[in-house]
Amino acid sequence: MLQPGLVARGRVALHGGGEFLSGDEAFIRALLETVATEPIRIAIVPVAAARSRPDLAASHGRQAFESVARELGRHVDIDEVLVVDRDAAEDADMAARLKVANVIHLPGGDPDLVPLTLEGSPAWEAIVVAFRDGATLAGASAGAMGLAERTWTPRGWRDGLGLVRGLIVVPHFEGFDTRGWEGTVAELRRSHLGQLGLDERTGVISGPGLEGEWLVAGEGGVQWHSTSGAVSQGRHGDRLSLA
* Model pLDDT, residue 185: 64
The pLDDT mean for the chain works out to 93
Sort residue 192 into left (φ over 0), alpha (ψ -120 to 50) or beta: left
* Residue 101: C-alpha distances to residues 93, 95, 173, 199, 208 (Å): 13, 10, 30, 27, 16
Cα atoms found within 13 Å of the Cα of residue 39, Cβ hemisphere only: 12
Please give the tally of structural domains in the chain: 1
Entry pTM: 0.93
Residue 3 within any structural domain of the chain: no
* Model pLDDT, residue 109: 97
For residue 105, the SS3 value is: strand
Choose the weakest-confidence range: 103-112, 147-156, 173-182, 202-211: 173-182
* pLDDT surpasses 90 at 156: no
Residue 6 within any structural domain of the chain: no
Q: What is the CATH number of the domain that holds 166?
A: 3.40.50.880
Residue 2 within any structural domain of the chain: no
Residue 1 within any structural domain of the chain: no
What is the domain extent for residue 56? 11-240
> What does the pLDDT average to over 150-166?
89
Residue 171 within any structural domain of the chain: yes
